Structure 1
Amino acid sequence: MGNTLEPETEGAWGGAPARKADFERIKAAGFDTVRIPVRWHNKSSDKPPYTVDAKWMARVQQIVDWALAEDLNVILNSHHFDPIHDDPLGVAAWHGGVWKQIAARFAGYPEDSLWFELENEPHKNFNHTNLLETLAPALKEVRALHPTRAVIIGGENWSGIKSLETLALPEDPNIHPTFHYYDPFTYTHQGAEWTAPDIPPVGRAFPTTQDAAQLARDVASIQTYMARTGKTPFMGEVGAFDRHIPLADRVKYHRMITDAFAPTGIGVCTWAYTNTFPFYDSAKGRWLPGMLGALGLKEQD
């Protein structure tokens, strides 16, 4: 559900507010899990007790309930908590205070179908030197009410696949690592203005011989990680920017990534549903041709 609950106004980034019908449609297409990214820092006070806007919390709960009602698994996260990436330890208490309220609101929800992801894509000053200390207040608040609920943690540098090599996790069997896969970045983000000043030029093709070799190495790195740690990572995002990449090429990209990682058995969430990097065309009321099939799902009429 990317770019839905992250803008200041819900759905403002290229889409529309979430509707109950979205989750009915997602379930009918064969998906079993939805990841719901939520921006919290602009809906909460930065002073104790860090109160979250009541209407916002209720809206998030409504959307989670819609998804669960369709028998979908839900990953609820904190996304774009911008101050934490500039001053991780200075903002940790605020971040933890927000998670205290999230944990309280979802107390009693089924553990097998609602997971928490503490913070999306650590970057800038938020890195492996301070990651666990920064997330400690949030994890403490979650564990106070949810001692065994699954919690997802991603690593530094936007949680790229290489972050797994040095990602340390707390000693907790119910904490799961995540990584995001937008590789090669020069292909998936070509012409993406938000990557300025180093915007990848438009026209990059995929796959080159080098791309195919790197993909094989990336798959091998996941297998190595699983053997080394005993943990199965989760690919929390994967996608290619639609503005400059033709649909047929996006289909080819997703099919290649899906097929390559399939032997690892890892779970995957694609970015995104219907806003940027879309799979569903809201204007035409249909799934984009070929995109479901690229994920191994049945194409919809």
Structure 2
Amino acid sequence: MNDARRATGPRSRRLTRTASLLVALITTTGLATGTALAAPADQAASNAASTWVPNDPMKAVAQMQPSWNLGNTMDAIPDETSWGNPLTTKALFDYLKAQGFKSVRIPVSWYPHQSATAPYTIDATWMARVKQVVDYALADGLYVDLNVHHDSWDWIENISVPSDHDAVLARFDATWTQIAAEFKDESRKLLFESVNEPQFAAGTSDAQKTASMNELNTAFHAVVRGSGGNNGNRLLMLPTQGCTPSQPLMDDLNGEIASLHDKNIVATVHFYGYYPFSVNIAGGTTYDATNQKMTADTFALMHSEFVAKGIPVYLGEYGLLSEPNSGTVEQGELLKYYEDVNYQARLNGVTSALWDDGNYLDRTAMQWREPDIFSMIKSSWKARSGTASSDNVFVPKGGPFTAQTLTLNLNGTTFKGLWNGHQKLVEGRDYTVSGTQLTLTARALADLSGNQAYGVNSTIKAEFSTGVPWLIHVISSDKPVLSDATGTTASLSIPTQYNGDQLETIKSQYADGTAAGSASWTAYQAFNGAFSPDYANNALVFKPDFLNSLKDGAPVTLTVEFWSGATVTYTVTKSGTTVTGTAS
């Protein structure tokens, strides 16, 4: 991902340096005499299988599914561990292979380790380290995509500036000349990607952007193809502008690929979903029909633009623009998104690479930070999973209990029943099913609420014929209460009794109904951008960007919306650098 902000988010994990232990059994007699030691026949066959790549690019890229990104690591600035991840070890790739991954993308930022003037020499130590990491992955039989990453916005974007054009192109050629030379003898399981999310200098016209994009891809192709070794027929990945999967930009790339007359070309794009949902802004809190259509349409375009024409597609990054453990996107809605994205990739013959900057896999503990998310992703590589309209059922603390209905999203599966732990709930007594309507009875909800402490009282599983179970949390809550507060434009912390409920979104408006806040185009401000819930400290915190954007002396009405359906109104007024909050 071409966004430095992704690199600076807080991390709770302890950072340690780890090293893999390489154990070799060596026959000393063979080494002493200089005699080459013949590998056993089964080992030789295994080695051949681990490096064999089909001649058909479509089949080769299909073998790369599923894929994973070593994000915020070799692309970190200035060094491998600068953005919070540990040193990369062979053990990491061993683990990824065991988890079912067939390929990895290794983003690399070269410019912190490269001379900015001719001959643009890449530091030998850095080149050797990159090669070591690549070789770790190749040794496990994984395909590897190696690219030029954050260089795109540091210097490559200036190729569209006439006065900088020649120097940028010379540096680009020199960069790929050195990379191609270093890796020319590697297995064809190593792929090269010309540039990550290419962008161009401000003020560049659309026509010039297209010309610059084509020039970069053509130069990359010429340098690699002319560098000898396995680079003569290595699979090469060419991106659209910004790696954006829009029809005009994919049309441009189609034309560029056709002009090269080279079958060993792969198209690469990225996908981070429907923007309002991806960052929870403008009321985009659920993976609704608009989201689903956008996802389906985008993948269908990838298919029609490339796959249907025999050009393989590598989705070099997919995910959301908010971190999975940030709370920005509600967990159940996030799970529905990942289930559908991977289904659409399968449906359209697209190989997909999860963007992981360290917030999915804890690379020190070798554990998935959110096991439910990874279980859904892994299952969706091969099968669909059923979901529901929500993963939460809110009941009033202390009752009264009434039956509540969820809509099942079967996704081609068959509903099999509900379980509370190892106990199967009884249809007719605990729940009923009518078509896709699943109704939990009042009796069942009273039982599942237990002692009715605020928060999750129990979690039941909806089982389907394929895929992972859908978890439904039974939550006791009362209407949240916000109290008066005083702060500054640096921070306003509103005392909040959440009473078991969970924040969904906030609408912010002036008296005339216009939007109030840093996102002036929508009344619904950005979750974790304009505000954040602080459940542990019973507070709702508003951020400087939001507070500083408010008009002086103009009261702002906040409509605070919760997942239970409860809403609370609250008034915020800025006066100079002082901000006051008043409960309605």
Match of 2:116 in 1: 46
Match of 2:362 in 1: 281
Match of 2:239 among 140, 154, 172: 154
Deviation of 1:74 after TM superposition, in Å, equals 0.4
Higher alpha-carbon Rg: 2
Alignment pair present for 1:130 and 2:212: yes
Between Structure 1 and Structure 2, which shows a larger proportion of helix residues? 1
Distance 1:187 1:95 in 2: 36
Alignment pair present for 1:36 and 2:120: no
Match of 2:190 in 1: 114
Gaps of 5+ in 1: 191-199
The answer as to whether partners of 1:223 and 1:264 remain within 8 angstroms in 2 is: yes
Q: 1:20 to 1:283 in 2, by over 3 A?
A: closer
Match of 1:182 in 2: 272
The answer as to whether partners of 1:128 and 1:155 remain within 8 angstroms in 2 is: no
CA RMSD of superposed structures (Å):
2.3
- Match of 2:238, SS? strand
Deviation of 1:18 after TM superposition, in Å, equals 1.4
Alignment pair present for 1:212 and 2:292: yes
Q: 1:203 to 1:71 in 2, by over 3 A?
A: farther
Distance 2:375 2:233 in 1: 35
Distance 1:227 1:31 in 2: 22
Alignment pair present for 1:87 and 2:159: yes
Match of 1:263 in 2: 347
The answer as to whether partners of 1:178 and 1:233 remain within 8 angstroms in 2 is: yes
Deviation of 1:184 after TM superposition, in Å, equals 0.9
Amino acid at match of 1:175: I
Q: Deviations over 1:60-96 (max 9, x none)?
A: 0000011111111100000011211133534121011
Match of 2:182 in 1: 105
Match of 1:172 in 2: 262
Deviation of 1:227 after TM superposition, in Å, equals 6.2
The answer as to whether partners of 2:193 and 2:238 remain within 8 angstroms in 1 is: yes
Size of the aligned set, in residue pairs, is: 284
- Tell which deviates more after alignment, 134-143 or 76-85: 134-143
Alignment pair present for 1:26 and 2:116: no
Q: Deviations over 1:130-173 (max 9, x none)?
A: 212233333222111211111001011x1111021322223211
Gaps of 5+ in 2: 1-69, 202-207, 382-466, 468-584
Q: Deviations over 1:97-138 (max 9, x none)?
A: 011111111121111x10000101111348322212233333
- Match of 1:46, SS? coil
- Match of 2:336, SS? helix
Higher relative contact order (CA 8 A, sep 6+): 1
Match of 1:14 in 2: 84
The answer as to whether partners of 1:96 and 1:139 remain within 8 angstroms in 2 is: no
Amino acid at match of 1:133: E
Match of 1:2 in 2: 71
Distance 1:149 1:282 in 2: 30
Q: Which residues in structure 2 correspond to 1:45-84 (within 5 Å)?
A: 45-81=115-151, 82-84=154-156
Q: Which residues in structure 2 correspond to 1:245-264 (within 5 Å)?
A: 245-264=329-348
- Tell which deviates more after alignment, 102-111 or 290-299: 290-299
Amino acid at match of 2:334: R
Between Structure 1 and Structure 2, which shows a larger proportion of strand residues? 2
- Match of 1:129, SS? helix
- Match of 1:98, SS? helix
Q: Deviations over 1:269-301 (max 9, x none)?
A: 1101x52xx3213465412312333233599xx
Match of 1:96 in 2: 173
